[in-house]
Amino acid sequence: MPENKPADRVLLEIRDQVAYVTLNRPDKYNGLDMGLFHGLTATAKTLAKNRDIRAVILQGAGPAFCSGLDVKGVSANPLNFARLLFKPGRRISNLAQDVGYLWRKVPAPVIAVTHGVCFGGGLQIALGADFRYSTPDCQFCIMEAKWGLIPDMSLTVTLAELMPIDKAKALTMTARKFDGNEALALGVVTQVSEDPLAAAEAFVQELKQKSPDSTAATKLLFNQAWQADDKTALGLESSLQKKVLGRANQRIALARNGSEPDKPFLPRRGF
């Protein structure tokens, strides 16, 4: 059994086809210990297989979303850093990277709801989501330079899609803190609200009016084609369209725009 009772560190509740994933170490501002690393990766893998959920809301319990790596807690066992950086077999990500990167592998849209602080590894977790909803006063920071380190929890994949390289370098090299309003201007967050959870839930209701196949295929298309060469991007458009065109949920989407506006969608197809 991994350390720190990962089942207690991450709470999962599914309500009305929405998975609420909560980092649950509020007394430590949800600082990342080994229990949170294992709990987050296990939860992401579980949700990736669930074809019934329509969205995931990723949030933090207590006064903060996540304060980043709990250096003292992880350092308590000298083997932990080796465990975080070990990359087994042919996998492209290690355990440290998985807590951010694996949310991209969940077919349903993932919305991170941030408040308090979102530092270091916490920011990299949020960047792995498809959308980020934040309070205006939430504090963000790519913290690693403060400790003489570099970000190594999938930020080079996720932040590259959101902002220019010069601005990303500046934030990373200086470890400068910035609030939710600046994060919005930089493209790091999607929306700022005094009640970001309510705003995220309203957005989820919009998503649920669309085919889960279309939504999942769109996520896959953008994640794989956004920075790909033209041949790869155009080929993926065609191959994914063939997988949704004429299928049950596409026919239901047509019916919902016509004679049967309340016809329910079926569980998502696999992609």
| pLDDT tens figures, 45-92 | 999 999 999 999 999 999 999 999 999 999 899 899 999 999 988 889
Residue-level pLDDT at 64 = 98
Q: How far apart are CA 237 and CA 233, in angstroms?
A: 6
pLDDT tens digit sequence for 126-181 = 999 999 999 999 999 999 999 999 999 999 999 999 999 999 999 999 999 999 99
**Cα–Cα distance between 3 and 9 in angstroms, integer?**
10
Average pLDDT on 19-28 reads 98
For residues 186 and 3, what is the distance between their CA atoms, to the nearest angstrom? 37
Taking the C-alpha atoms of residue 99 and residue 103, their distance in angstroms, rounded to an integer, is: 8
Percentage above 90 pLDDT, the chain: 91
What region, left, alpha or beta, does residue 86 occupy, with left being phi > 0 and alpha being psi -120 to 50 degrees?
beta
pLDDT, mean over the chain: 95
Give residue 34's pLDDT band: very low, low, confident or very high (50, 70, 90): very high
pLDDT at residue 31 greater than cutoff 90: yes
| Model pLDDT, residue 89 | 85
At 5 the pLDDT is 57
Q: Kindly indicate the confidence band of residue 1, based on its pLDDT and cuts at 50, 70 and 90.
A: very low
- pTM for this predicted structure: 0.95
Confidence at residue 6, expressed as pLDDT on a 0 to 100 scale = 64
Q: Where are the domains of the chain?
A: 6-207, 212-256
Q: By three-state DSSP, how is residue 208 classified?
A: coil
Q: What is the pLDDT of residue 7?
A: 64
> Higher-confidence residue: 159 or 1?
159
At how many degrees (to 10) do helices 248-256 and 212-225 cross?
110
- pLDDT at position 264, please? 95
CB neighbourhood size of 65 (10 A): 31
Predicted confidence at residue 242, as pLDDT, reads 97
SS3 86: coil
**Number of other residues whose CB lies within 10 A of the CB of residue 14:** 14
Closest CA to 196 of 116, 121, 109, 78: 116
Which superfamily does CATH assign the domain made up of 6-207 to?
2-enoyl-CoA Hydratase; Chain A, domain 1 (3.90.226.10)
Task: Give the pLDDT mean for 214-232.
Answer: 97
Name the E strands within 69-190: 110-114, 117-119, 131-134, 139-141, 178-179
What is residue 258's predicted lDDT score, i.e. its pLDDT?
A: 84
C-alpha span between 261 and 72 (Å, rounded): 55
pLDDT score for 140: 98
**Predicted confidence (pLDDT) at residue 227 exceeds the cutoff of 60:** yes
pLDDT at residue 2 in the model: 44
